[in-house]
Amino acid sequence: MNIVLERLADEYPDVKCALFFETPFQLLVATILSAQCTDVRVNMVTPGLFAALPDAVAFSKASVASIAVRIKSINFFRNKAKHIRAAARMIMEEFGGEVPRTMEELVRLPGVARKTANVVLGVGYGIQEGVVVDTHVRRLSLRLGLTREEHPVKIEKDLVKIIPREMWETFSLLLIQHGRKVCIARRPLCGDCVLSDICPSAFVADRKKVL
């Protein structure tokens, strides 16, 4: 496991969360928007969204329709608008206007599951509560043989056993970056991969067997 982390860290020394945000609340909103949507698309929407609605106070007072119209280029924008407004209201009413700092409290917010909560805790607060398992982390963890599980929660349970706790956030960011640039879904660039000599899935002809 250490060699995977070392090589990816050397390959991506400046890795960081790709979402644009200035506060934990903005990170929460951006992460909710990023579900089944690219970070690039989210980053096209959030500057204008946060200029108009910068914090939980503003979102809690806004109508769902006014939020939806600002994020209409995002997948499932109507449901996400409902979740974000409801989350903002809960934050104002139950958490004094501050995004919670525990997993138990975060997953109570509408539209927030473990992945989103882990992003907010790790990136927003520097709290290593778990490993973010998005589509890239899932795919690469399977290809690298780090898990045999398919469900994100079960994958996370496997990963936290083998990754040093202080590296949980960084590990996810590294795999996400590598998944975007090299270990892409349909045709991984194994010839350009720094892990090809230790990856059990490298240069495998039948990709379906390792996804």
The catalytic residue positions are 115, 134
CA distances from 40 to 1, 74, 87 (A): 30, 11, 23
